[in-house]
Structure 1
Amino acid sequence: MKNFIYLFIAVSMFSCKDAKKETVVAPETTKTEEVVESNYPEALEKVFEAHGGLDQWKKMRFLEFSMQKNGVDEVTSTDLWNRKSLVETPDHKLGYDGKQVWLQNKGDAEYKGKPKFYYNLMSYFYAMPFILADDGIVYGDIEPLVFEGKTYPGIKVGYESGVGESPEDEYALYYNPDTYKMEWLGYTVTFFSQEKAKEWHFRKYSEWEEFNGLLLPKIIVRYEYENNLPTTVHSENNFFNVKLTKEQANQDIFEMPEDAQLVE
């Protein structure tokens, strides 16, 4: 009987010790999980949230959309994690396999454009505002944009040296002060000169559609500009047949076909 009592006391002390250990560890773990620092300006975080949240965007792996250009459908496919891309029209395929840009002519029609400038251009515009969470971005302040009597606060975006094809490019995201939805994108183009540009171009994000809980543009309107301000409508891009999924795309579609050419 004594042995049984001693055994019961020993087991009880051991169990209590374990229980006490668990109650100490749990609060520490919870406390650690709550400490999350953000590298984004507070206003930009609110913009992300207004469009469905950056966490939800990071779950997405594949993006595809179509738009009309020069009277034909142009289909853009992008792996959102490795940024491989494919732009296809009835006459051409323009791809990026993760290392190099290539161009395939399906017929005799000559490709009109700058492949290294264009291969990811529309996917970049379309993935706003989430694309502005990329690594290597530097955020700053910029004067609000005033257009037709309405004021849009802005966030200036630049790149660290050596990031991308045109690290001297600058962007400005302007948002609705009431809803925090993105309404304008200002940007400079340095690809051709490789020098810091002084002229600002503008695109207006006028309509949005929801895919997997995320708001993406239905229409992007390009504006003429003067004195670094938008003036009148230049043209617009309408997007359709949108696919946004968590599944990885078949990586073969980004590989260069045998009859394609590398773009230098």
Structure 2
Amino acid sequence: MKKILFLLVLVVLASCKKEEKKQVKKEVTKELKKENFPEELGRVFNSHGGLKTWRKAKILSFNKGEEAHTVDLHTRKTVINSPNYSLGFDGNEVWLDEEKNGDYKGNPEFYYNLYFYFYAMPFVLADDGIIYEKSNLITFKGVEYPGIKISYKSNIGASPDDNYIVYFNPKTYQMEWLAYTVTFTSKNPNDRYNIIRYNSWENVNGLILPKEITWYKKDDNGNPTETARAPTKFTLPLVSEAKLADSFFQKPVK
């Protein structure tokens, strides 16, 4: 009799666990339906900490070499400080500190948010004004990675003709590759994709963010083959729900 009762308890507990899993799945599906993005991309967001965690954060900062990047996640105001130059976006215009720009040879308007986009993947792919569609698979070392293509509605950002393709692990839904085009200079759409591997991550206040990224060469079918350069490493990551004063993002006054 005791054995029968014990078995009944196990059956009830197993049923409860199944119901809990179903309920959680329903809640996740319901939440994803409120958004504009595909369910598969929603699973990618969830595997990296979830959009709720991302949207609660106000400040993101990280170092790339000697550069310290700090971004207001809600306004996208930005400051990049280094020993030899500083630049940023104050919400209205991109600025460069002329008195320290001797070593800076790039274009501030192109550069100020370039590595923020690479670092904040995949969460920046939930921004407004995005169009989603399925992309072809890529293959690397026998693993096939499904892809989701991201394009932008007209007049969104400085380069609305840029395209991204995020490729994710089909088992874990973790992002592993990013293909992207660059149209900032030409202002014309193109199909010349660069590809980056994301294979080293860390938990930063609940968000799974990259420790390093590596550009790869591709074959004629767009599949990555071998590294094209040394990895770009990110250090001193910080995600905070505190807000910085607007003056932090303004051009220094001499």
Same-fold status (TM-score > 0.5)? yes
Q: Given residue 84 of structure 1, which amino acid in structure 2 is its aligned partner? A: K
Q: CA deviation at 1:178?
A: 0.5
Corresponding residue for residue 170 of structure 2 = 177
Corresponding residue for residue 203 of structure 1 = 196
Alignment of 1:1-264 (within 5 A): 37-68=34-65, 73-107=66-100, 109-227=102-220, 228-233=222-227, 234-258=229-253
CA distance, structure 2, for counterparts of residue 242 and residue 34 of structure 1: 28
CA distance, structure 2, for counterparts of residue 150 and residue 87 of structure 1: 37
Unaligned runs of at least 5 residues, structure 2: 1-29
TM-score, normalised to structure 1, is: 0.80
Contact 1:223/1:235 (CA < 8 Å) preserved in 2?
no
Q: CA deviation at 1:83?
A: 0.2
Contact 1:87/1:94 (CA < 8 Å) preserved in 2?
yes
Q: CA deviation at 1:36?
A: 5.7
CA distance, structure 1, for counterparts of residue 225 and residue 99 of structure 2: 39
Contact 1:200/1:225 (CA < 8 Å) preserved in 2?
no
Deviates more, 1:225-234 or 1:187-196: 225-234
TM-score, normalised to structure 2, is: 0.83
Going from structure 1 to structure 2, the CA distance change for 1:97 and 1:143 (only over 3 Å counts) comes to same
Contact 1:218/1:239 (CA < 8 Å) preserved in 2?
yes
CA distance, structure 1, for counterparts of residue 191 and residue 160 of structure 2: 15
- Deviations along 1:85-136, one digit per CA (max 9) or x if unpaired, are 0111101001100110000144472421111110000011100000000000
Identity, % of aligned positions: 43
Going from structure 1 to structure 2, the CA distance change for 1:148 and 1:212 (only over 3 Å counts) comes to same
Unaligned runs of at least 5 residues, structure 1: 1-32, 260-264
Q: CA deviation at 1:67?
A: 1.6
Contact 1:105/1:111 (CA < 8 Å) preserved in 2?
no
CA distance, structure 2, for counterparts of residue 120 and residue 144 of structure 1: 28
Partner-residue secondary structure (3-state), 1:155 = strand
- Deviations along 1:128-183, one digit per CA (max 9) or x if unpaired, are 00000000000001101112221100100000011000000000000000100000
CA RMSD of aligned residues (A): 1.8
CA distance, structure 2, for counterparts of residue 149 and residue 226 of structure 1: 15
CA distance, structure 2, for counterparts of residue 131 and residue 60 of structure 1: 13
Going from structure 1 to structure 2, the CA distance change for 1:203 and 1:36 (only over 3 Å counts) comes to closer
Task: Decide which structure has the larger Cα Rg and report it.
Answer: 1
Tell me how many residue pairs correspond in the alignment.
223
- Deviations along 1:2-52, one digit per CA (max 9) or x if unpaired, are xxxxxxxxxxxxxxxxxxxxxxxxxxxxxxx98962311010010011111
Q: CA deviation at 1:223?
A: 1.8
